[in-house]
Amino acid sequence: MYLITAYFDDNTNKKLQRLIDGIADCSGNFFMKEHNVPPHLTISAFETRKPDGLIPVMEKLHERLLQGEVQFVSLGVFLPYVMYVTPVLDGYLHDMAVEVYDSIQNVKEDGDIPIVNRFYHPSRWFPHVTLGKTLDEEQMRQAFSYMQKHFVPVTGRIVELGLSRTNPHEDIVRTELR
């Protein structure tokens, strides 16, 4: 599995990391810390046999996409294990998702066409930043209690895109947006 992921400016990272750390400390679930998962927003997830064919895509995305503001306004869960914050899916994020999806769809590296995960098609994409993962039932309750006391809407800024492989996570290329 490969990902194209948005990364944030330092100020946004600090705000989101405080929430990640708070959930870990109150719940005793240190998955995010132990696996060095930084605050990030996955734009696309896909399978391909030739990930190097995506490097030119990243160069084109660098030319086409701009840094932009996002508003994290809501807390949610993917039951039973994940807690996240979600940004408003505004024109900026929608356009980014469409641009990334279309760029991946145009790759044809020696007959290999990347297959985008169905949950990352622009019409199905649900943007979110994971704050806690592998939470059991009690840890989820503790995380909710923490977030009720500490979550306030966060204005953030996307400044970079990355192409990576998973299991284990490894960056292939990262590019700063204009």
Q: What is the pLDDT of residues 126-137, one digit of tens each?
A: 999 999 999 999
pLDDT at 52 over 90: no
Among 48, 89, 57, 55, which Cα is nearest to 70's? Answer: 89
Q: Is the dihedral of CA 148, 151, 153, 159 positive or negative?
A: negative
Instruction: Band the pLDDT of 24: cuts 50, 70, 90.
Output: very high
User: pTM for the complete prediction?
Assistant: 0.94
Among 73, 67, 38, 68, which Cα is nearest to 154's? Answer: 73
pLDDT, one tens digit per residue, over 113-154 is: 899 999 999 999 999 999 999 999 999 999 999 999 999 999
What integer pLDDT is reported at residue 16 of this predicted model?
A: 98
pLDDT, one tens digit per residue, over 159-169 is: 999 999 987 77
Alpha-carbon gap, residue 167 to 55, rounded angstroms: 20
